[in-house]
Amino acid sequence: MVVEFKKSHDDKTLKELVSKFNALSSVFQSMPTGVFAILDQNLNIATINNAANEILGTDAASILGKNVQDIFENKFPGIQKLIQETITNRSAVKNFNLELEDHDGDIKTYLVSTAFTGESSKEDFGVVLVLHDISEVTRLRKAVIAEQSFGLLIGASPVMKELYKTIETIAEFDTTVLIYGETGTGKELVARTIHNFGYRKKGPFIPINCSALSSSVLESELFGHVKGAFTGAIQDRKGRFEMAEGGTVFLDEIGSLSIDLQIKLLRTIQERIIERVGSSDQIPINVRVISATNQDLLELVAKKRFREDLYYRLKVFQIHVPPLRTRRLDIPILGDHFIEKINRVHGNRIIGLSNASKESLMRYSWPGNVRELENAMEHAMILTPGKIVESQYFPPEIRHMQNDGSPPVPSIVKDPCKEEENIRRVLASLGGNVSKAAIRLSMHRSTLWRKMREFGIKRDKE
């Protein structure tokens, strides 16, 4: 009686286990996320679900038992590296962004994660690989950004829409254009957009920063030189104006030109000819001239540091590029744009900004404008351990901004922020493990906790 009861009990338990396994198997197979299980040290694939089949464009029978390198190396370059990293570190890799071409030739974007299932033995391990298709999310974000942009410029605020209209109007004319605006507002992007929308778009766009070179070197860069014109001139060389034939020359920071070069530039613009350094031969040119400055040229004219006749020749048409603080509605749009850009460059896996991050970015005054925003986004994305950028990962000047949104007083943030930044970076790299971070930072654990409270730092898991 007892044996029969036990046997009956075992049969019932076995059926229940089988039933539960089948139910779990059904869930596993119906998951929209591709899952691969690699359960031996030879890295052979043990099982995959239906979504994984669709990603590979094949059937499970042709995949099971095959080595991951044979399956992934050609179709999904980069995944093999993640698997190896998981095994070497015996820890998971989370939400790695990977852009791949699928079996139909379509570009797909996946968030790739791994899980390590090993025991204490180095030989006994398993890896689970998960591919989550975020192609539609990525496509929609790109579509939204495209609708809120014009050429190379990003933004949908009223001031930017006015700028787009102005560019569209002037692009087809060969008029000289003077672009003015603060540092980092994107004056060169405006110049490139004018060029790209004009009839000279098939010609070259040749930029030069007039403040980056000495007067003598700049003259050679602009107008070229002949062999023997000066020490080191071992052969004839074209200048930027000749290189830009049929296209556009962009003269950035035009206010830094010396008076001598201003005279030569004025003649070039008026007569459409150049003379190489060391030569009196006149070379005709066919270029459009666009210049830019962050200085008040009229003030420079009053101080006799800029020629009045050149000023009026350059400003036939003026365009003002608005500072970022006057177009705050564009900041989240630009943030998404930089996420896409930085993901491509660094292979990041970030998919967006938190609401708190957006609020912080929109409150800050942005003295460095769009360039500063891009740098701040890159800074935060490097430190962010997850897939959403949180406000605590922005640079110190944003985290410690004053009530009016301006950066903090330098003397206040100089030393503490360096220490805070170091603590945040180490904690992020160690997944918020305070004990390990204290060892890495060479400080007592209680000291680290005190500094974390002082700086308002929370562990990732909090």
In the prediction, which pLDDT does 2 show? Answer: 35
Question: What would the two tokens of residue 175 be?
Answer: 């008029």
In the prediction, which pLDDT does 6 show? Answer: 39
Q: What is the mean pLDDT of the chain?
A: 82
Q: Which residue has the higher pLDDT, 346 or 124?
A: 346
Per-residue model confidence as pLDDT tens digits over 167-200: 999 998 999 999 999 999 999 999 999 999 999 9
Q: Which residue has the higher pLDDT, 245 or 104?
A: 245
CATH 1.10.600.10 applies to domain 328-455: no
CB atoms within 10 A of CB 3: 7
CATH 3.40.50.300 applies to domain 172-322: yes
Pairing of strands 149-150, 127-133: unpaired
Looking at the predicted structure, is the pLDDT value of residue 318 above 90?
yes
In the prediction, which pLDDT does 228 show? Answer: 83
Question: What would the two tokens of residue 43 be?
Answer: 């890295």
Q: What is the mean pLDDT of residues 16-33?
A: 63
Q: Which residue has the higher pLDDT, 412 or 243?
A: 243
In the prediction, which pLDDT does 412 show? Answer: 40
**How far is the C-alpha of 243 from the C-alpha of 259, rounded, in Å?**
24
Q: Give the burial class of 265: count Cβ atoms within 10 A of its Cβ; 0-12 exposed, 13-18 middle, 19 or more buried.
A: buried
Torsion sign over Cα 180, 186, 188, 193: negative
Question: What would the two tokens of residue 378 be?
Answer: 């890159």
Looking at the predicted structure, is the pLDDT value of residue 461 above 70?
no
User: How large a percentage of the chain has pLDDT more than 70?
Assistant: 82
C-alpha dist (Å) from residue 13 to 2, 3, 22, 102: 16, 15, 14, 44
Per-residue model confidence as pLDDT tens digits over 67-86: 777 777 666 767 777 787 77
Query: Hey, where are the domains in the chain?
Result: 31-133, 172-322, 328-455
Pairing of strands 153-154, 149-150: antiparallel
Per-residue model confidence as pLDDT tens digits over 385-423: 878 899 999 998 899 898 888 888 654 444 556 777 778
Superfamily of domain 31-133: PAS domain (3.30.450.20)
